[in-house]
Each structure stands twice: as C-alpha cells, then as structure tokens.
Amino acid sequence: MKAFPLSALMAILTFASVPAGAQQEKIDPAVLTEGFLAAHPDLRWRAEGVRSYERKDYAVALAEFKRAAYHGDKPAQAMIAEMYWSGIGVAMDRPLAYAWMDLAAERLYHDFLVRREGLWSALDPAEQQDAIARGQALMAEYGDDAAKPRLDKILRRERRRVTGSRVGYVGNLTIVPFTGPLSGTGMTLTGDQYYAPKYWQPEEYWRLQDTIWKAPLKGRVRVGDLENVPAAPANPPAKDR
C-alpha cells in the first residue's frame, strides 16, 4: 500500500506550511513566542515533537505528540499513527495505528481521511476488529468532545490575562519568535495582531485549524509530489467504529 511519505507529513507539521491559495489564513511565525506556545499546548507540543523526531529521539517525540494530541492537534495524532504503523521508536502495532489515524480524520481533513481508509484496507479482519475495540478508549480521551474543551479553557484563561483586553487593544509588543524561520529575531507587532481572535477565541481558532488542514497535502507540501493512495474499499459500518 502506498501512502504519503513521512517526510511529507513532517514537512506540513511546521507552522509555515499552509494550503495553496489560503495564505491569509495561517499562523503567523512572528507570534510564536514562548508565551504564545505556552497558551497553545497543541502547537507547542507538536513543535517539540517535530524537533525530537528530527533528532531521532523517537520515544520523547511520541510522548510530545501525545501531549499535543491531548489538546486536539490532528496532525500530531496522524504522526502518532504513522509511528505505530511503521514501528518507529515503538513496537509496530497496526490496529493501534489505525485507531490513531481514525482520530486524526475525525474532522474529515482530506488526507488524514484518505490515509485512514488506506490503513483500514490493509488490516485483516481480526486487526480491524481489534482497531475498533481499542479506538473507543482513544476517542474518549483524545477525541474532539474531550480535547477541544481542554484547549478552549486554556485559550480563554490566557486571553483574560491580557492587559487592556477590555478595550481590545494592548499597544505594541516586541516579539521574539520561539520557533520557525524567524526564530530569535525581534520585531514589533501591535497587540491586535498578536491577540487576533483567530488565535485566542476558541471558535475562531478551530475555524483557523479547519482552514489550514482541510486542503489536500499536495497543495501544501513544498518537498515534491506525494505518492498516490489507492481508493479504499467500502467503509466499515459507522456503528462499528
């Protein structure tokens, strides 16, 4: 079974990657300070996981991706699935890999959905039943019904701490990004830019995530075309998932 390679998935885990034609809807690298990432544990732990993975410190990377996944980060959930599927830093576990990819595809983001169906078609019937059974506990802990409220609470709490938030303006901020291509460089942003609703209001933040991730990877990855994933057979009945 062919699938998008791990190198492509790793490429899109960085904050600068956005769908073609949606440049206005992205996370500005300039805002990625320590304080910003502390208030966005989904992004923080995804970034930490990427760095650990690139160092080949896979056990640490897996733990960090799980912390991001705990706060609803779908790319981190997809990365966990790939690590279990390929046995990278962990014992290969195909049913568990499918269960994690099922989580990643929960919001019907295109390529995570396609990858999920590809994994399903590669499982034998016993593995499929095992994946369904084990996925229930994962969904209860990491699915959106549990994960989104965790992050919503943090976003609202941190936004309330902003000086001047009642008037909607907090002056100019000197920003030193924590990660990404602008890491370590200083610049000035207005408070309105740094505390834009799309970063701090839960409903707007989840809408931003949907915009970033709904497009196919082929329109976003800069490292070359992806391999084609064959169409999966009919889905298992929804009640069995």
pLDDT digits (tens, 9 = 90+) for 94-127: 999 999 999 999 999 998 999 999 999 999 999 9
Least confident of 34-38, 48-52, 212-216: 212-216
Angle, helices 144-160 vs 58-70, to 10°: value is 80
Report the distance separating Cα 165 and Cα 80, nearest Å.
37
Helix, strand, coil percentages, rounded to 5, for the chain: 60, 5, 35
Say if CB 51 and CB 183 are below 8 A apart.
no
Average pLDDT, the chain: 78
Least confident of 177-186, 204-213, 231-240: 231-240
Number of helical H runs and strand E runs in the chain? 12, 2
Report the distance separating Cα 241 and Cα 195, nearest Å.
39
150 contacts: CB under 8 Å, gap ≥ 6 = 70, 71, 72
Give me 16's structure tokens. Answer: 């600068």
Give pLDDT tens digits for 131-179. 999 999 999 999 999 999 999 999 999 888 764 444 444 455 555 444 4
* pTM across the whole model: 0.78
Residue 189 has pLDDT above 90, yes or no: no
Give pLDDT tens digits for 79-97. 999 999 999 999 999 999 9
**Cα-based distances in Å from 175 to 14, 33, 76, 187:** 19, 7, 26, 5
